[in-house]
Each structure stands twice: as structure tokens, then as C-alpha cells.
Structure 1
Amino acid sequence: MNPAPRGLGLADPERENAVLLAIIEAATSGPGVEPLAAAVARVITEATATDVCFVHVLDDTEPSLTLAGATPPFDAQVGTVRLPLGTGVTGWVASHREPVVIPADKQDDPRYVAIPGLRGEQYTSMVSVPMESEPAGLVGVLNVHTVARREFDDRDVRVLRTIGRLVAGAVHQARMHRRLAAREEAHGRFAEQMVAAQEAERQRLARDIHDGISQRLVTLSFHLDAVRTFLDRSEGQAARTDLTTACDLVLTTLDEARAAIGALRPPVLDDLGLAGALAALARGLPDVHVVLDLDDRRLPEHVEVALYRIAQETLQNVLKHAGAEEVEVRLDVADDAAHLVLADDGVGFDPATRSRGYGLASVRERAELVGGTVRVISRPGTGTTVTVTVPLDSQPNTQPNSEESAENT
């Protein structure tokens, strides 16, 4: 009768180091927990001539383990096998943080629980070790199985525990990366929802002013004109003077109401889109030559509103402070980002001091709300260029590009 093979076949220190290096390489291959677990399982079975390896990872929200990686054909079970802590050999190892070696007759071990999808009855010997490290703590359990009886010794357990510590650190980093990505995504959604809510409220207020105050003022103006026409045909110079003053006040108030509506929600965005709105904004600058290069593809509403408001504030600052003769407004839209460039040939300023009332803090705040960034290039006497970049998260645009984007200046 042939003796049972001994150990993992890692008696050679050089071979042991090669396995650990392979595990380190697998552990640094990427931030995903499942790809990491699959790579580790494959490296372990190939390096140790074992038959199957399972990587069970501790769940984030409840005291249980989920199969995160396995060698074929059990990779199809990844994500479907879950074990409460304390259940089965794997659950016992997680609860006690101690390794378990079963050379044979695992069904006789009171801790063993058969999992149909993993076909444990086909494997004779197994080693189960906790995956834990500092500061990660317990991350999961690593199991190795063989069909033929295998005598695993203390050295084998030590090597597997070392592998477990390496994997634990990598899994911990992958989880932190995943949580950070989820938090950033949630922050992005919150910012988008906040901008949308603000604009919805502005739109509601603008509609209320338009449908209520503005309409009443228009009606009042008609009545005052009718009365003034009647008085023109008869006596009443004092009354005519008062009515003329009242009509002037109505027209002034109506202009103010329309200005308030535009400030709350720019109707030009709905009518012309961002490109048309930017063109109208720039051409409204008095005594300034305007150069336009605008991509007319539509963007998500919250991005269009943010870019319009940024352009509105920046161009107003140009009018107040720059003394510019020419202003360039360029909008470039790519698959992954929108770029708004506002450049003038005015007096310039020192961005480090945020001087001359340019309102850079407000511009940056609006950009950050939609995940964007702002770059300001200026110095006294050389003009100012403000570049705003907003990521689009690969969202498709709904209209074709009508003209080529200009080269960067």
C-alpha cells in the first residue's frame, strides 16, 4: 500500500517563496474582490498540486461568509454559497480563527456540513485556515481540498496562513476601494439630485411669477392704457399725469419680474439648448467682439444648467473687471467629458489672490456640484482663460455635432 502524499509539496524554500510571490502578484492585480479571490484560488491549486481551492469572504453587513472565488468547475458557484459564522468547518474556522486539518473521513467530524454545490464528499483531505491581518482583522477563510489522501503538516498550515494574511490585506484594500467608489457615486448622485431639485424649485418660482405677477401686471397695464386713452379725450391733466406715472411703474415692475424669471430659470436653455444659450449670453456683452466655437450636442440637464451659470457669472465678471475687447467662448463635448473655455484679452489678474472680484469660489462650487473642475490661467496684462471640465460618465449625447472642435489655445 502506497503511503499518502505528504504536504503541499513546498518543502523547498525557493519553491515556497515562488508561491508567495505569485500570491502577491495575484493580490495586486486589481481592486475587485471576486477577481482577486479567483486568481488566488488558481495560484494555490497550481502551485501546491491540490485539486480545488475555495476562498470564502466575510460579508460586510452580516455575520456570514460568501464564496468569492473558486477553481473550476466550482467558479460557477461564486456568490451563491453562503455560510453563517459557526456553520460547517469554514464557519467554525471563521468563528474561532484557528486552522482545521482533516486528512480523511471529514463526514465524521462534527463540524462538517455538506454543501451540495461544492461536492465535498468527492474530496478526502482538506485544510481550512482563517484569512486575517492587521488592520483588516478577519476577512474570510481559505480552504484547500484533495481527492487523494494528503498528510498536511504544520509547515503547510503556516504557509497557507501566510497566504491568508496576504490575501486578507488585498481583500481589505479591495473593499475599501469599492466602498470609496460607492461613496463617490452616491455623492455624485446626491449632487445631481440637489442641482435638479434646486432648478425644479427655481422653475416653479419662475412659472409662478410668470403666470401670476407678470400676467396681472400686463392686464393692469392694458387697463391703465385704456383709462389714459379715455382721459385724453376729456379734461383731467392731473389724472393723466398720475396714470402715466403708474404705467411707467407697471412697465418697470414687469421688466424686473422678467429679469427675476430669467435669474431663477433661464428660459433660453429650454428654447435654444446650452450652445444657443451661451451664444446669446456672449453676444449680449456690449462693445466686445465675441468668438464662438460651440458644440450643439445636448448634455444632461444639471450639467447644462451648471455650465450656463458658470458662463453667466464669468462673462459678467469679464464685463465688470476685465476691460476686454474680445471674448472667446468654446464648448467641446466628448464621450467622457464636456469642456467649457471662456477666454478674454483683458487686463488679467493674479488667480492666487482671487482678486478683482472674479468670484472664482462660486465658479468652483458650481463645478464641483456636478463633479467638475476649474482651471484658471491669468496674470496681470495677459487676459484670463477659465476652463471648466465636467465628466459625463459616458452618457450618450442626443444630437449630432454640427462643427469641429477648435484646437486648444
Structure 2
Amino acid sequence: MTGGDTDLERENALLLAIIQATSEGPGVEPLAAAVAKLIADATGTDACFVHVLDDAGRSLTLAGATPPFDIAGQVLSPLGVGITGWVASHHEPVVIVENKEADPRYRPIPVLRGSEFTSMASVPMASDLAGLVGVLNVHTRERREFTERDLRLLTMIGRLVAGAVHQARLHRGLAGRERAHERFVEQVVAAQEAERRRLAADIHDGISQRLVSLGYHLDAADRTVADDPAYAAEQIVLARRLADLTFEEARAAIGGLRPPVLDDLGLTGGLASLARSVPNLKIVLDLSDARLPEHVEVALYRIAQEALQNVQKHAGAAAVRLVFEVEHSAARLEVRDDGAGFDVDAPPSTSGGYGLNSMAERAELIGGTLSVRSRPGSGTTVVAVVPLGAGC
């Protein structure tokens, strides 16, 4: 058997082993660690590092390495910085046979112990479907001339790993969305139960008690209307006051479930009425007259209501622009203020308590999305977008 045949068999065996490794599970880190060892063994190199591009496409994280480098997740390489960052940003392989320190692109990373290795090859991990996924590096202690065949093999491996990492990310994203959906359903059920308890308490403690008192006053008036008309008239006046209070409480309780203003005026009129009810804010309205399905109107009204409450409580704004429009088969609600703004990436405890989760949940419940743009000193913009069916 010729040397070429032997090399081809080794390459095929390596590629089969990598395919097997990539099919055994969806985890990015276990996959990277398994592939790193396979590559080092098959290519006769002393170390292999698998760097994976983050979701934002700004930096690479060491996802797997050959022993003794048990440091997955601890090494970050910004795009364009160091050999790894250069390969990622230029989508081209790099070979350094010796004297790495003389290469202007090289940046030492102490934990990777680069001084122990003489030669290295670095190739992008990319495929047509996944695009750039990361960078694959191999190192040798002894001086080595990496051949074109070596680079072709490493590039082919990079394509396989890129496809596997892409699938792992899709699986992770799907699993994350499923968990988020489960949590959301739990939150919706809990919110519904809390709303039922609140409504029951409102009816029992307020409306029911007032109706009992109303009955007492009417009974007293009925018993005394012949003998003491003045007292009976007084009881009727009290009964009328209780009836008015009971009506207002019942209206408030109903409004907690569905704002009556939507029945009377629709979403456009409801938003205009909501804007008029907010004190100390100049609110500029840009509202479409379009009507939407009932559940969509309720959700958008509540989002606008909560967004305006947040402006009052947190923003210190002087003016707000409230936009409702329907175009391209989607409804769009925007609430933009000129207030203090906040850091949207900060933890909830430090981002001003804007209560954005409940607005996002309302949007998701009707199949929409909520986005928030803000930064300190530049105001805040909340946008809800809801796709509409052909019949809307």
C-alpha cells in the first residue's frame, strides 16, 4: 500500500470519527472537546484548540481543547485580535512555522502556554449554511511545515464542525424557547389566578357589602315611608349614594378585565382617552383608525397603559409620542419619551424597575414581539409589533 493510500485512509477514518462525535449530542462544549482530541491525534499535533464565535459575532470563546487544557469558557478572543481573531475576521487560514512572536498579529495568552509550542496552523470553521462559526488551531512543539494537504484536511474538518456547532446552537435555542414558553404559560396561569382572586376580593369586600347596605337602607325606607316620610327620604338618598358607589366599583372591576373604553371608542379612541388621563405629560398622538381583533386591542391598550405608567414613575420625561399604525399586515404600537433613559443591558434591579417583562409577555401572548431601545440620557422607546392574519 502506498503512502498516499495510507494518508487517505487516515483522513477518511478521522472524518468518520468526527462525524460520529458530532452526531452523539447537541452540546457545543462536549463536541468541541471530543473533536479537539480527535484532530490532535489524527494530525500528529501536540495541542488543538476549538474557538467558537459568540452569538453576537464579536468575540470567540475557547469551547474545547486537548488535555491538559481544561479551560473551556475561560479564554476570550475579540474579533480581529491575535491570530485567532485575525483568522475569524478575514476568513483565511494562517500558518506560522516558527518565531510566532515576530508575527505582528500574534498576541500571547498565558493560559494557553504558547511559548511551549513552535509551529501552529489556524483555520476558520465555516460552512455555507452556518457561515463562520469559529476557529480551529493546532500546535506542535517541534518545528513543522504544515502542507497544503494539512490545511485542506483542517478546513474540511472545520466545515464539519461548523455544521455540528450550528445544529447544536439551533437545538439549544429551541430548547431555550421551549423552557421560556413553559415559564410563560406558568406565569399566565398564575396571573389569571391572581386576577380572579383580586376580582373575587373586590366583589366580596366592596360590591357585595355595599349591596347589603343598600338593601338595609331600602328596607328602612319601605318600613317608615308611611309613618316617617322624612326618614324614609333620607334612607333613599343614602341608598342612591351607595348605588352610585357600587356602580363605580363594578365598572372599575370590569375595567380590570377589559377596559370599557375599548367597547365605546375602539383602540384608537381608547388610546386617546388614556393619553388625556395622564397628568403633567405632553403626549403627541399619531393614531390609525384601524380596528383589530378584540384580544389584540386589549393587549396593545394594556401595553400602552403600562408604558405610560412607567414614563410617569421612572423617566422624568416632559413629552411622549404615542403611535399606533397598521401596515404590511402588522399592527405597531410605539411609546417614545424624552426622559432619563436607562441601560437596557443592566440587571433588572439596576435598570430602573421598568416592568418590561409584563409588557413583553402581553405581546408574546398575542403572537407579537416587544423591543426596547434606551440609554442613559437619551429617553426610551418601547415598540410592540403584532402580525395580523389576512382577515384582520
Q: Report the TM range for the smaller structure's normalisation.
A: 0.5 to 0.7
Displacement of 1:74 after TM fit? 1.3
Displacement of 1:83 after TM fit? 0.8
Tell me which residue corresponds to 1:130: 124
Change (3 A) 1:19 1:30: same
Is the contact made by 1:10 and 1:16 (CA closer than 8 Å) also made in structure 2? no
Change (3 A) 1:207 1:235: closer
SS state of the match for residue 131, structure 1?
A: strand
Is the contact made by 1:10 and 1:48 (CA closer than 8 Å) also made in structure 2? no
1:335-384: CA deviation from partner (whole Å, max 9, x where unpaired): xxxxxxxxxxxxxxxxxxxxxxxxxxxxxxxxxx9xxxxxxxxxxxxxxx
SS state of the match for residue 74, structure 1?
A: coil
1:216-248: CA deviation from partner (whole Å, max 9, x where unpaired): 12233345556667799x899xx9xxx9xx9xx
SS state of the match for residue 138, structure 2?
A: strand
Change (3 A) 1:235 1:200: closer
Displacement of 1:182 after TM fit? 1.6
Structure 1 residue identity aligned to 2:105: R
Tell me which residue corresponds to 2:197: 203
Residues in 2 aligned to 1:152 and 1:11: alpha-carbon distance in whole angstroms? 18
Match of 2:43 among 26, 32, 48: 48
Residues in 1 aligned to 2:216 and 2:152: alpha-carbon distance in whole angstroms? 94
1:274-297: CA deviation from partner (whole Å, max 9, x where unpaired): xxxxxxxxxxxxxxxxxxxxxxxx
Tell me which residue corresponds to 1:300: none
Displacement of 1:78 after TM fit? 1.2
1:253-306: CA deviation from partner (whole Å, max 9, x where unpaired): 9xxx9xx99xx9xxxxxxxxxxxxxxxxxxxxxxxxxxxxxxxxxxxxxxxxxx
Match of 2:102 among 105, 108, 115: 108
1:103-139: CA deviation from partner (whole Å, max 9, x where unpaired): 2111111211100110101011111111000110110
Residues in 2 aligned to 1:32 and 1:12: alpha-carbon distance in whole angstroms? 31
Is 1:14 matched up with 2:1? no
Tell me which residue corresponds to 1:389: none
Displacement of 1:194 after TM fit? 2.6
Is 1:24 matched up with 2:22? no
Change (3 A) 1:171 1:235: closer
Tell me which residue corresponds to 2:377: none
Displacement of 1:100 after TM fit? 1.1
Structure 1 gaps, min length 5:
1-8, 265-368, 370-409
Q: Pairwise mapping of residues 89-168 of structure 1 onto structure 2 (< 5 A)?
A: 89-168=83-162
Residues in 2 aligned to 1:135 and 1:94: alpha-carbon distance in whole angstroms? 17
Displacement of 1:181 after TM fit? 1.5
Structure 1 residue identity aligned to 2:189: V
Displacement of 1:199 after TM fit? 2.8
Match of 2:213 among 215, 219, 229: 219
Question: Based on CA coordinates, which of the two structures has the bigger radius of gyration?
Answer: 1
Structure 2 residue identity aligned to 1:188: E
Residues in 1 aligned to 2:57 and 2:86: alpha-carbon distance in whole angstroms? 16
Q: Pairwise mapping of residues 259-338 of structure 1 onto structure 2 (< 5 A)?
A: none
Change (3 A) 1:10 1:190: farther
Residues in 1 aligned to 2:12 and 2:108: alpha-carbon distance in whole angstroms? 34
SS state of the match for residue 149, structure 1?
A: coil
Tell me which residue corresponds to 2:168: 174
Residues in 1 aligned to 2:94 and 2:225: alpha-carbon distance in whole angstroms? 106
Match of 2:52 among 23, 35, 57: 57
Change (3 A) 1:102 1:172: same
Change (3 A) 1:163 1:228: same
Q: Pairwise mapping of residues 372-391 of structure 1 onto structure 2 (< 5 A)?
A: none
Once the two structures are overlaid, the 10-residue window that deviates more, 89-98 or 219-228, is: 219-228
SS state of the match for residue 50, structure 2?
A: strand
Structure 2 gaps, min length 5:
258-364, 366-392
Instruction: Give the percent of matched residue pairs that are identical in Structure 1 and Structure 2.
Output: 70
Tell me which residue corresponds to 1:88: 82
SS state of the match for residue 86, structure 2?
A: helix
Is 1:192 matched up with 2:182? no
Structure 1 residue identity aligned to 2:10: R
Displacement of 1:157 after TM fit? 0.7
**Number of residue-to-residue matches in the alignment:** 236
Which has the higher relative contact order, 1 or 2, with Cα contacts under 8 A spaced 6 or more apart?
1
Change (3 A) 1:10 1:107: farther
Cα RMSD between the aligned structures?
3.0
Residues in 2 aligned to 1:235 and 1:136: alpha-carbon distance in whole angstroms? 90
1:151-187: CA deviation from partner (whole Å, max 9, x where unpaired): 2111111111110000000000111111112222222
Change (3 A) 1:25 1:225: same
SS state of the match for residue 63, structure 2?
A: strand
SS state of the match for residue 168, structure 1?
A: helix
